Copies of this chain bind each other. A is one copy, B any other.
Amino acid sequence: MTVRLKDVAEHAGVSIKTVSNVVHGHIHVTDETRLKVQTAIDQLGYRPNLSARSLRTGRTNIIALAVPRLGEPYFAELADQVMHAADRHGYTVLVDNTEGRREREGAVVSGIQPQFIDGILFSPLALEATELEVASAEVPFVLLGEHVPATGYADHVSLDNVAAARAATAHLIELGRSRIAVIGARRARRARTAAPRLKGFRQAHREAGLAVDSRLLIPTERFDRPDGAQAMAHLLDMREPPDSVFCMNDVLAIGALRTLAERGVSVPEDVAVIGFDDIAEGRYSVPSLTTIAPDKEQLANVAVDALMQRISAGRNAPPRELHIDFNLVIRESTAGRP
């Protein structure tokens, strides 16, 4: 049924290895032979057996991308980009849903499909430094995204969160806002997650001579729309509600916008809203969402490149901290309708 190298070889009247050489474009094959073999390949419809190849070479040309929830637009868009980037290197991407649960993230790190994956791109939520440390031995991997704790255990690709948060905050301040809330502060357990952004947030305040009202820093359990809506409701119920909100990601902001609309609070007049991630949804929301836009294509490219390097060499080169560009994209939720 299946066509093997052997079949092609017999059909072309050469040895198996010569066929293999043709397939790989190796040297030491006459044009004549090459043509003969290629014809046989086409005629028989030969397709290399990747299992056999990877058994022999130890490579699968598959990398895993582990994300908390593929259903979340940011991760879906990221996955999209990563697949493109990987494609350019001849790699296929195996997306894995960790659900942000530790157990599952741990499983990913110690090898989802043991021996089946050349490397991992990992965008964790729950995982912390300890586990990461343990992990780094198994298979080359690169951390990416903004939810990652600062590590020093592996390559990490992200934008400069301090600078980005500062730019977002400064934008609100320039618009004359002074009571700026934060949704998704997560002071609680995983302090490290939001820490750099809060730092940038405070920096911007300091530079403008404004004080931060810590009652306006709202932690959320998750980073999704319902949490955003709930946090916004909480803020509006305060005696002195904020005049603007910096959301740790766009879906939180979408949730916040929803609550503001329900309560008839006008955006941006009464409350300005800014998000983070620049998902497509925010470009079509009403009002459209001002946000920090990471260069996702660059993110994917840099991450994949770094992983490729780890795979093909420098497995134990010192970990690098790689930064990508970002942009403040001003839309209606802070600037109003033109």
Q: Interface on A for B, CB 8 Å cutoff?
A: 2, 47-52, 54-55, 60, 62, 69-73, 75-77, 79-80, 83-84, 92-97, 111-116, 225, 229, 254-255, 257-258, 261, 280-281, 283-286, 288
Contacts and interface: CB of A to CB of B under 8 A. Distances in A.
Contacts of A95: 79, 83, 93-95
29 contacts: A2-B115, A47-B111, A49-B114, A50-B114, A51-B51, A51-B54, A51-B55, A51-B60, A55-B55, A69-B80, A71-B76, A71-B77, A71-B79, A72-B76, A73-B76, A73-B281, A83-B95, A83-B97, A92-B112, A94-B94, A95-B95, A225-B280, A254-B281, A257-B284, A258-B284, A258-B285, A258-B286, A285-B286, A286-B286
A75 to B, nearest CB: 8
The 6 closest A-B pairs by CB, nearest first: A47-B114, A76-B76, A51-B55, A51-B54, A71-B80, A261-B286
Contact of A79 (B70, B115, B280): B70
A6 to B, nearest CB: 15
Contacts of A76: 70-73, 75-76, 79
A76 B67 CA distance: 12
Contacts of A70: 70, 76, 79-80, 83
A222 B273 CA distance: 31
Contact of A50 (B93, B115, B283): B115
Nearest to A56: B51
B283 A225 contact: yes
Contacts of A261: 286
Contacts of A258: 284-286, 288
B80 A115 contact: no
Contacts of A283: 225
Given A73-B281, A225-B284, A258-B286, 11 more contacts: A49-B55, A49-B114, A70-B83, A71-B280, A73-B76, A83-B97, A92-B96, A92-B112, A229-B284, A254-B284, A258-B285
